[in-house]
A and B are shown apart, each in its own frame.
Chain A
Amino acid sequence: MAGELTRMSAAGLAAAVAAGEVSALEVTEAHLARIAEVDGAVHAFLHVAADGARRAARAVDERRAAGEPLGPLAGVPLALKDLFTTTDMPTTCGSAILNGWRPPYDATITRRLREAGVVILGKTNMDEFAMGSSTENSAFGPSHNPWDLARVPGGSSGGSSAAVAAFEAPLGIGTDTGGSIRQPAAVCGVIGVKPTYGGSSRYGVVAFASSLDTPGPLARTVLDAALLHETMSGHDPCDSTSVDAPVPPVVAAARQADVSGLTIGVVPELGGEGYQRGVLTRFGEAVELLESLGAKVVEVSCPHFSYALPAYYLIAPSECSSNLARFDAMRYGLRVGDDGTRSAEEVMSLTREQGFGAEVKRRIMLGTYALSSGYYDAYYGKAQQVRTLIIRDFEAAFEQVDVLVSPSTPTTAFPLGERVDDPLAMYVADLCTIPSDLAGNAALSVPCGLAPEDGLPVGLQIMAPALADDRLYRVGAAVEAALDSRRGHPLLDDAKGLT
């Protein structure tokens, strides 16, 4: 039974709990057992809150016993990226500088999960402060891809994607700044969604790049992702950039799973040279599939997407250089060199020198430079202009089509260590995902098969206009259903390499 429980969808588990077929506590125990079994190899979690999870599960069982109504995800376990503040768990952001920090407040999303009866199993590994595409920038060691433990699970939300792929949790939450949900979802063969910017609250999400950071769901089915999307989203008065509008009808769209009548645009700029052959093969098949399901497919050029990556690597580091200034050893976190002989300034420097990893320092320096007097216009200012051009590309495209599609990533999961010394090669992993972040639009990655040459998952990226998140689910669920009927469950099989 325990093994079966970890294979079930979130929707299925919630229904079983609500029907009294299984207790939330049993569901939680099954997943804790699975974590105990495989996480030594996967290292998805930085912190497992077994007792807290059991308490949350028991509370759901008590509410059910008392006849209280339960939400659509009550009793379902979840893996939370260690970027969200939690009063009952540490929040490290994958950084030594916050090692052991226990926040005094819950993120809005943490609170909403608790209120919905979602059982938070623990906090997942990530690239330090969400900067990276492999979890190799974590101060606490990388996570491993459940499809091949020698490969990266993607990043920065690689802990959450690995946990979901390895059946340690049916649901995960990540954050997407340049692709940090969709890219790990794609290479782990799960669904990952970047909602419209402002659609999900950033309050209590430790900031990397404020104008880009977007929390979103990871799951093994499109419907599960939609259920979590709906549960975690909605206006938050504590976040000024939060959208004050109803959550798009994502659950209904996931159930609709129908693309007939939709016009789907293929972006030629996101493909071709530099892309892995098997990725392009599966992507091409997915496009054909959509056409066969009744969608009209056209090609839509987005000429400025080629500049998205360089613009991103000015805007995101600029914001991060300011956001990460607060880690100065004065109030919380690591403090180095405070031996009574050093000035506050020296302690700040030593702490930041030792507390931050190389990639974080690289981006702080890039951003500090880009914002400097005399360089601002040429770098930050110019990047913002590029951002505007990318937004216009999207606007023009969405006048012709309902959604755009592309591969989620140029390649499948790459081997651990392959790109750690080559930042540019690492940055390229986010080539397809960055435009939607810069524009603040919604996008989703759904598995579309395994690359023939390496047998690793390939993701199809679906991009929709801001506040049209429901279109992602409509298309994503249609792809999922079609592939499901043709290929069985290739993406839900036992991952190789796990005992």
Chain B
Amino acid sequence: MTGQAGRTGKAARGEAALVPFGEALTRYEPVIGLETHVELGTVTKMFCGCPARFGGEPNTLVCPVCLGLPGSLPVANRAAIEYTIRIGLALNCSIADLCRFARKNYFYPDMPKNFQISQYDEPLCTNGWLDIWVTDPGAGGGGRQVRVGIERVHLEEDTGKSLHVGGATGRIHGADYSLVDYNRAGIPLVEIVTKPVEGTGALAPLVAHTYVSELRDLLRALAVSDVRMEEGSLRCDVNTSLAPRGSGVWGTRTETKNVNSLRSVERAVRYEIERQAAVLDAGGQVTLETRHFHEDTGVTTAGRNKEEAQDYRYFPEPDLVPVAPSREWVEQIRAALPELPAARRARLTAEWGLSDSEFTMIHNAGAVELVAQTVAAGAAPADARKWWLGELARRANETGRGLAELPITPGEVARVSALVASGALNDKLARQVIEGVLAREGTPDEVVAARGLAVVSDEGALLAAVDEAIAANPEVAQKVRDGRVAAAGALVGAVMKATRGQADAARARELILTRLGQS
């Protein structure tokens, strides 16, 4: 009934012998490459006027064109071409003066025409790069910049989506029947292909992860896609091969598909390195093939054998005219590019006076925008960083939320910071104010008023508290009188306790030392 009989062996599950990662790297140098598909966030589809929208009842966002009905013809979406050029420019690519769409011919039920309109030997954008900052956990949080070469960026149409019902694998073979939803058919899709990335050694999995992550940030900044991996608007194929260390000769690559999260990107590369190393160690040869990544087990299994792969019989799409973006148009698009993450990083690192690794921590915490807005609202960069990465990160962790989801605005954080800077609050009180704001008690000022949180600045009251503390702790007081100034901390603590934290600790310390003849 389950269809699982006879599939319990390791080999049958597609699990392979592995060489531990560290050991694999002593003998082999990994070479990786990434092909990323991005669904563009245009209003309409690539070649028709249907909404390019995720979701919707199956087969409701369709028309004769995206269904490939006999007689229908494609008309290219200018916005999609513009978005692609935007991506190409942001990735430092050359933009073609003239390029053509091509037909990629193969039969599959979710392809309405049984060919995909894509680009082949004339992509819109070629030969660029993306600089990424890879944090090396083995180097004490340090990092290094890696330049990932971009081979090409081209534009094509997405296919429909198949749902294979019944059968054990959820794939077409063995399914009882299959359903096809053509809502996705014809959504503009950009493919971004890297050049092979070599020389990153043990960092290779992390390089892959970071590249996709930074590419995602870039695409988001460009406002060309919602880049949601879980919804498939950003999809990634990972190529991996191993070169025997020192040989400089690249091995046969595999192409791993179904890599649906940043973590999976990293795991897939790592797994392929371990698996291919075992194959090579055993004197075998890596097969040129497509492999399938399994999110649950973290393994890859063999899919289509590329040697036997079909011939796509590419030829220029005769239903479309060549795309010829004018220089003026390209320059207009370039001029309208927003500040890109790399430039923003350089600018903010300098403006905030941070080291690369400090900035990376803010970046990795997803707090760059929040810190920037807090600084814009008047806080010192160091303070903004301290609050978001300290107290607020802790609160977010406790409640399992993202920083941006906390019910506090950068403006409110800046206000708390200002109250501390003016001496109206100390750190401890400030944390209470933040707690109040997060509990939705009001703005920082309202919380201060409602909770009566203000540093005690009445010298008389403070002096009384100081005298009380000295009287209550004669031994400590004597130590201070004897010159052991550090012992005064205990007296400051007593003062703070007595004033329920509302005293200005520095002032209290001054008063204690004066009383005890030490200033």
Contacts and interface: CB of A to CB of B under 8 A. Distances in A.
A331 B73 CA distance: 17
B71 interface: yes
B365 interface: no
Contact of B72 (A203, A331, A348, A380): A203
A148 to B, nearest CB: 34
Contact of B75 (A91, A238, A345): A238
Contacts of A210: 318-319
B343 to A, nearest CB: 37
A127 interface: no
A240 B315 contact: no
A237 B73 CA distance: 10
A244 B54 CA distance: 34
Contacts of A380: 315
A300 to B, nearest CB: 29
Given A203-B73, A240-B74, A331 B67 contact: yes
Contacts of A105: 64, 69, 71-72
A327 B107 CA distance: 10
A345 B69 contact: no
A343 B64 CA distance: 26
B19 interface: no
Given A202-B73, A240-B74, A344 B318 contact: no
Given A211-B318, A325-B113, A240 B105 contact: no
Contacts of B311: 372-373
A326 interface: yes
A83 B378 CA distance: 70
Contact of A326 (B68, B74, B318): B68
A405 interface: no
B68 A376 contact: no
A332 interface: yes
B172 A344 contact: yes
A332 B69 contact: yes
Contacts of A322: 103, 105, 115, 313, 315
Interface string B172-188: 10000010100000000
A203 B311 CA distance: 29
B142 to A, nearest CB: 47
A95 to B, nearest CB: 10
Given A241-B321, A330-B180, A348-B107, A85 B313 contact: no
Interface in A173-214: 202-207, 209-211
Nearest to A201: B73
A261 interface: no
Contact of B114 (A98, A205, A328): A328
Contacts of B51: none
Contacts of A125: none
Nearest to B105: A322
B96 interface: no
A176 to B, nearest CB: 16
Interface string A114-129: 0000000000000000
Interface string A344-380: 1100100000000000000000001001110010001
A205 B69 CA distance: 11
A174 to B, nearest CB: 15
A371 B315 contact: yes
A83 to B, nearest CB: 8
A319 B70 contact: no
A321 B103 CA distance: 11
Contact of A319 (B74, B178, B318): B318
Q: Which of B64, B109, B314, B318 has the most CB of A within 10 A?
A: B318
Contacts of B314: 371
B76 interface: yes
A239 interface: yes
A352 B115 CA distance: 16
A330 B113 CA distance: 11
B315 A104 contact: no
Contacts of B143: none
A373 B73 CA distance: 26
A409 interface: no
Q: Which of B72, B109, B113, B115 has the most CB of A within 10 A?
A: B72
A238 B47 CA distance: 10
B348 interface: no
A330 B115 CA distance: 14
Q: Which of B73, B75, B311 has the most CB of A within 10 A?
A: B73
B320 interface: yes
A326 B113 contact: yes
A107 interface: yes
Interface residues of B, number: 30
B232 interface: no
Interface string B394-428: 00000000000000000000000000000000000
Contacts of A372: 311, 313
Given A238-B75, A240-B73, A318-B315, A104 B113 contact: no
Contacts of A13: none
SS class, residues of chain B in contact with chain A: loop
B201 interface: no
A93 interface: yes
A241 B70 CA distance: 17
A326 B114 contact: yes
B71 A206 contact: yes
A103 interface: yes
Interface string B86-125: 0000000000000000010101010011110000000000
A54 to B, nearest CB: 26
A55 to B, nearest CB: 23
B67 to A, nearest CB: 7
A476 to B, nearest CB: 29
A152 B115 CA distance: 35
A107 B71 contact: yes
Contact of A240 (B71, B75, B103): B75
B112 A326 contact: yes
Given A203-B71, A330-B180, A240 B109 contact: no
Contacts of B180: 330
A465 to B, nearest CB: 20
Contacts of A237: 75
A207 B71 contact: yes
Interface string B146-185: 0000000000000000000000000010000010100000
Interface string B457-471: 000000000000000
A255 B64 CA distance: 40
Contacts of A376: 313, 315
Nearest to A129: B70
Nearest to B104: A322
B161 to A, nearest CB: 14
Interface in A94-111: 98, 101, 103-105, 107
Contacts of B68: 326, 331
A103 to B, nearest CB: 7
A238 B311 CA distance: 31
Contacts of A103: 64, 69-71
Contacts of B70: 85, 91, 93, 98, 101, 103, 206-207, 326-327, 332
Interface string A223-260: 00000000000000111110000000000000000000
Given A207-B71, A240-B320, 20 more contacts: A85-B70, A103-B69, A203-B71, A204-B71, A205-B71, A210-B318, A241-B318, A241-B319, A319-B315, A322-B103, A325-B107, A326-B113, A327-B70, A330-B109, A330-B180, A345-B107, A371-B105, A371-B314, A371-B315, A373-B313
Listed from nearest, the 7 A-B pairs whose CB atoms lie closest are A325-B114, A210-B318, A371-B313, A211-B318, A206-B70, A204-B71, A373-B311
Interface of B: 64, 67-76, 103, 105, 107, 109, 112-115, 172, 178, 180, 311, 313-315, 318-321
23 contacts: A85-B70, A85-B71, A98-B70, A103-B70, A105-B69, A105-B71, A203-B71, A204-B71, A207-B70, A207-B71, A238-B75, A239-B73, A240-B73, A240-B76, A241-B318, A241-B320, A318-B315, A326-B114, A328-B114, A330-B180, A331-B112, A344-B172, A376-B313
